[in-house]
Amino acid sequence: MLRRSIQVCLVAMLTMVIMIGFATGAQANKKLTKVVFAECARSEGWLPVHLAQTLGFFEEEGLAPEFITYKDGPLALMGLLNGDAEFCIIGFEPVLMAHEKGQSSKVIMTTLDSQPYTFVSRPELTSAADFKGKVVFAGMPGSAPYFFVKTILRNAGVDPDKEVTFASLEYGAELVAINRGQIDGAYVRATRFKQIQEMGGRIILDATNPAKHKEVYGSEKYQAMSVQVRDDYIKEHPEIVQAFSNAVYKGILWQLSHTDAEIAKAVAPMFPGRNIDAGLISVLRKVWSTDGIYTEEGYRAVIDFCVANGVLRAPIPMNETVDNSFMEKAKANIH
């Protein structure tokens, strides 16, 4: 009797081992959907997207992303619209410009509630009014930083189209160019505050200050760090768009529940050669979105800014360019 009981136990244990093996194998062999992310630049402004990659949230949702980094927003946008990518990590302004030209798409999330931008000059220049006849860097024409700098100059009485020369540089090279005297001022991400101090640059305007942000954008909110998807792709592959949104929402929740140092360590692999530290994350914490969902105020600020700068001829209704449904569903189901 004892011998038979032992045999039964051994058979049961063997069956369990086989079942676990099958389950593990099935999980390991789960087919991931390959998707291409066209990004306007490798920027910490899309922090939860990068966290979703390093923390494995995209894989959890069945996605295998490939990141392709373009020189700027208009080029990344072209990659998406040409079918070279499924998702575009981009500032909102180029998306709106394309929509007005009949190239319809939707933004499905925002990662920041306001712009972490600064305008920096050589130490001897004390205000934007000093920039008549000067050389500045502001990204590519049509990009979000470009209109940021033009607005600051225009508000100071400088005609950016006639009285300033715009330099062509790679993002990240602007501080060295200022230090060498090659340019007089530049758009610089606020997360580079430490480097700005080290080179002795003067911050003419810091948009992470809500009052200064309002001077430029007319609002303390400006939801322009977006992820864009073509309308046809949303219609044909809503489950993939939802999987992407779920993964990024997990990234948002993770960043909300961890320290600056922990976040910096987790996201650092996405930024080889850069010093991603707690100080940088602390700047982003002041401006990041807590749910990725567009608000009427944040959208309206972008539209009003674009119309005022001649980027758009007329306002565009929010439902024509924004689809909040995927992030709303993620928020409802993921805790």
The mean pLDDT of 122-134, rounded to a whole number, is 97
10 Å Cβ neighbour count for 208? 18
**pLDDT tens figures, 244-280:** 999 999 999 999 999 999 999 999 999 999 889 999 9
Amino acid sitting at position 237:
H
E strand or H helix that includes residue 244: helix 238-256
Four-residue CA torsion sign, 135, 139, 141, 146: negative
Three-state DSSP at 228 gives strand
Q: CA distances (Å), 128 to each of 150, 154, 185, 191, 202, in order?
A: 10, 9, 9, 21, 11
Q: CA distances (Å), 235 to each of 42, 68, 71, 87, 319, in order?
A: 28, 24, 29, 14, 15
**pLDDT tens figures, 211-228:** 999 999 999 999 999 999
What pTM does this model have?
A: 0.82
**Domains, the chain, ordered by start:** 33-114+223-333 (3.40.190.10), 117-206 (3.40.190.10)
**pLDDT tens figures, 40-58:** 889 999 999 999 999 999 9
